[in-house]
Amino acid sequence: MDTIREFEIRFGIELPPALRNSVLGDRLPRENVMFETEDGKVAGWITEFWPVDSEESESYSSEYEDLSLAGVLPRNLLPIALVANGDRVVISLAGPDCGTVYYWGWSEEPEPESNSYRCMRRIALDFDGFLDSLKRA
């Protein structure tokens, strides 16, 4: 809990309750899992769910700093997982879509990145629905 709270205080944001509870309850898959967007146009493998903070690898902290605060993504979006092709799964932290989980087609972004929802496809309306929709190999 301390790591989550430190992350939230550091960046002035709050994790959606379902994500927070999943991290605290150790409910995130440790193996590769498959997702599909609601429109059925994109399916892929999630190869890693990041920790909240880490000095050795990507984490919520490093991804939020490098992508959201840097203006590559809208500030309300937090990358939470890596897709096999290098794209990301993100969750909205604020606004009318708070808690919604999206596939971000980073590889589809123009140069420079659009800092918009242009390359987003919704996976689930909330984090629990997202976890329920994942398929194991």
**pLDDT at residue 110 tops 80:** no
| Digit-coded pLDDT (tens) for 95-106 | 999 999 999 998
Question: Phi, psi at residue 127, to the nearest 5°?
Answer: -70, -35
The domain total for the chain is: 1
C-beta separation of 80 from 99 below 8 A: no
Q: String of b and e for 103-117 (b: at least 16 CB within 10 Å)?
A: bbbbeebeeebebee
Q: Which strands sit side by side in the sheet containing 101-104, from one edge to the other? A: 120-124, 101-104, 88-92, 77-83, 43-49, 33-36, 135-136
Note the pTM of the prediction, 2 decimals.
Answer: 0.94
Range of the domain at 95: 2-136
CATH number at residue 61: 3.40.1580.20
